[in-house]
Amino acid sequence: MIVKILGTGCANCTKLEENTKKAIESLEIDATIEKVTDFKDIMSYGVMKTPALVVDEKVKFNGRVPSPDEIKKYL
């Protein structure tokens, strides 16, 4: 599974990455986390608000930072 964090590096983007790592560790799944910071790459996903979470090339949400428990539902 490939999980991407879309964002420019703001505090919310960092928090989303932390929460995503916690969710992956809790579920004990094999996943790779990639950070996408280039604005053109972010726009290619149709995302207008960051941070955003992409799982296997599908945008799961954007514009907010969900809890690790909520992220588990998307993984």
| Of residues 51, 56, 59, 53, the one with CA closest to residue 30 | 56
Q: Quote the pTM value.
A: 0.92
* Residue of 1, 2, 9, 10 marked catalytic: 10
pLDDT digit string (tens) for 7-40?
Answer: 988 999 999 999 999 999 999 999 999 999 999 9
Q: What gap in Å lies between CA 11 and CA 7, rounded to an integer?
A: 10
* Residue of 13, 36, 47, 54 marked catalytic: 13
The predicted structure's pLDDT at residue 26: 97
The predicted structure's pLDDT at residue 52: 97
What domains are defined for the chain?
Answer: 2-74 (3.40.30.10)
Say whether 74 is catalytic. no
Say whether 10 is catalytic. yes
Range 43-51 average pLDDT: 94
